[in-house]
Amino acid sequence: KVHWLNRTFTLIDTGGIIMESRDKIEESIKNQARLAIEGADLILLVVDARQGLTSLDVEVAEMLRKTKKPVLVVANKVDEGKLEGQAVDFYSLGLGEPFPVSAAHGLNTGDLLDYIVESLPEITPEEEELEEEIMKVAVAGRPNVGKSSLINRLLDEERMIVTDIPGTTRDSVDSFLEREGDKFLFMDTAGIRRKSRVKAPVEYYSVLRSFRAMERADVVILLLDAREMVTDQDKRIAGFAHEKGKGIIIAVNKWDLVEKEDKTYNRYKDKVRQELVFLDYAPLLFISARTGQRVLKLLDLIKVVFENSSRRIPTGILNSLIREAVGVSPPPTIKGKALKIYYITQTGEKPPTFIIFVNNPELLHFSYKRYLENQLREAFDFQGTPVRIITRKR
């Protein structure tokens, strides 16, 4: 997402396009770029001003011309003071006046953003309402657990680059899906490795973007590999999503590759719950992106978790619940001092956040705080979302 001059738009960075290639990844990148182009309102053709016009630039320009969509040639890597001179060769592409910039030094980038905003179609009230209705979902996990394959299965098209090579998704990529009136925006994140294994700068920034994608999301699907189960890195990703207050669904992929006996499911389920005990509120689903097993069930769960994390409870109903909970199980005394709970109110959603006003916050033992959280969960169905309870002295 880019915010500029009171406008918000989505900028999609495609992989470098190689027109004729037998390489599996390069062909997948070209197909992904084609899908991005089909959905774009404006296309930026980025060329290298230092290298000059190449035959590949001409081929890509010809492909873009056939789309009948507005195209702006952006000549990158120009030197200060040579803006016009280094970009002049690209007039021959027949796509209008080239726009010279230097991304490395920020040269002319503000003017480029101005031009983009001026070129975008006006947003209708219906489109603004649509943006508010979309459920943003990040599919996160270690490399090669099947994140792209899962989204491809949901979208029923090869939008992500799917190969057997770990780490072929270098950036987080957004894909829109509408099903039975529900609107989803899926963000496929780069596989997140342990810090010690992140070496190349491009991979470092890909991992950084993956965490940012989770920050943008309403719901995070934590994708595990059934053959490896829960690793320390899975716990790190889960912990990040939990701390950020995101709705969470645990999906164990490649379930079709596991040899099963009568108690296999229960054994695997118990193992996941033991390793991710702090996500006891998250629904758990065993799926196969390859065969489609239970994949559509994920869409139903996303909607449930999204609605639960967005739920607002009236203050009167909250206080009736807390009074009843305290009556059933009064708070323990600490060093002879008793906790008094005056009232509770909800102050936020995503995640549901509550403030409890008490006589002394230090008297609220963590176990009793957990008891109150469980009462809230049982009464108002907060499955799939963290619940925050903050204490304040009155």
Q: What DSSP string describes 296-339?
A: HHHHHHHHHHHHHHT----HHHHHHHHHHHHHHSPPPPBTTB--
Verify cis geometry, omega within 30 degrees of 0, for the bond prior to 143: no
- CA–CA distance, 54 with 37 (Å, rounded to integer): 21
Contacts of 218 (CB under 8 A, 6+ apart): 135, 136, 137, 246, 247, 306, 309, 350
pLDDT in tens, 254-274: 999 999 898 999 999 999 999
Domain 315-393 has CATH 3.40.50.720: no
Q: Is the pLDDT of residue 89 over 60?
A: yes
Is pLDDT larger for residue 227 or for residue 84?
A: 227
The residue-averaged pLDDT of 2-30 equals 73
Q: CB under 8 Å to 111, separation ≥6 — which residues?
A: 99
Residues of the chain with CATH 3.40.50.300: 2-122, 126-309
Query: SS3 for 383?
Result: coil
Written as one letter, the residue type at 332 is P
pLDDT at 22 > cutoff 70: no
CATH architecture of 2-122: 3-Layer(aba) Sandwich (3.40)
Least confident of 141-150, 195-204, 242-251: 195-204
The whole-number pLDDT of residue 189 equals 66
Structure tokens at 190: 């780069």
Residue 272: is it exposed, middle or buried by C-beta count within 10 angstroms (0-12/13-18/19+)? buried
Q: What is the pLDDT of residues 215-231, one digit of tens each?
A: 889 999 999 999 998 98
| Segment 136-177, tens digit of pLDDT | 999 998 888 888 889 889 887 544 444 443 444 444 457 788
Q: In the prediction, which pLDDT does 25 show? A: 67
Average pLDDT over residues 90-118: 89
Domain 126-309 fold is Rossmann fold (3.40.50)
Per-residue pLDDT reduced to its tens digit, 273-315: 999 999 999 999 999 999 999 999 999 999 999 999 999 999 9
Q: What is the pLDDT of residue 126?
A: 63
Residues of the chain with CATH 3.30.300.20: 315-393
Are 253 and 293 contacting, i.e. CB atoms less than 8 angstroms apart?
no
Helix boundaries (H) for 3-156? 24-38, 55-65, 83-87, 109-119, 125-133, 147-155
Q: Give the pLDDT of residue 199.
A: 45
Residue 130 pLDDT: 55
The confidence score (pLDDT) of residue 290 equals: 93
Average pLDDT, whole number, for the chain? 84
pLDDT bracket for residue 390 (50, 70, 90): very high
Q: Which residue has the tokens 């873009």?
A: 64
Average pLDDT over residues 235-252: 95
pLDDT computed for residue 21 by the predictor: 66
pLDDT at 87: 75
pLDDT tens-digit readout, 94-107:
998 899 888 888 88
User: Is the predicted pLDDT of residue 9 greater than 50, yes or no?
Assistant: yes
Q: Within a 10 A sphere around the Cβ of 40, how many other Cβ atoms?
A: 17
